[in-house]
């Protein structure tokens, strides 16, 4: 697909200026039930990065990486479990709202110790 240079530039600029959904996601080991909970200001991009890092054996969570290798990618699921609700308030802090959601879900899913991959 060949687009005129001006159209291409406009599309790239619009993409870079767009606000991506912030949220919390979980990587679940379907064999053991262990979970890894994380959040990002670009939740879809973060999940893609995590999958890519696991495939390359370079994910920062070594326990998750070991289980990914041992059990195989087919035994893990990726899911966005919550998104930051955007507001038109100038005082709205996406990052602070994301941190609150992440704490809530970490507590709810008990993602540390034997139940999860997160470190306390």
* Residue pair 50/78 in contact by the 8 Å Cβ criterion: yes
Supply the pLDDT for residue 17: 77
- Ordered domains of the chain (ranges, CATH): 19-111 (3.40.1440.10)
The whole model's pTM is what?
A: 0.85
Q: Which two tokens stand for residue 59?
A: 């994910």
Q: Render the burial of 99-109: b for 16+ CB within 10 Å, e for the rest.
A: eebbeebbeeb
Q: Which two tokens stand for residue 98?
A: 């994301």
List, in sequence order, the alpha helices (H) in the chain.
5-17, 43-55, 62-71, 94-109
Task: Give the model confidence (pLDDT) of 69-109 as tens digits.
Answer: 999 999 999 999 999 998 888 899 999 999 999 999 999 99
Task: Give the model confidence (pLDDT) of 14-51 as tens digits.
Answer: 877 777 899 999 999 999 999 999 999 999 999 999 99
65 burial via Cβ count (<10 Å: 0-12, 13-18, 19+): middle
């Amino acid at each position: 697909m060949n687009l005129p240079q001006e159209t291409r530039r406009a599309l790239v600029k619009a993409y870079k200026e767009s606000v991506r959904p912030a949220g919390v996601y979980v990587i679940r080991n379907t064999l053991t039930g262990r979970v890894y909970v994380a959040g990002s200001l670009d939740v879809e991009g973060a999940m893609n990065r995590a999958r890519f890092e696991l495939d390359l054996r370079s994910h920062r969570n070594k326990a998750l990486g070991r289980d990914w290798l041992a059990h195989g990618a087919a035994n893990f699921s990726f899911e966005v479990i919550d998104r930051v609700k955007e507001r038109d308030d100038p005082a709205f802090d996406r990052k602070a709202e994301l941190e609150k959601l992440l704490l809530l879900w970490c507590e709810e899913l008990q993602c540390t110790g034997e139940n999860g991959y997160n470190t306390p």
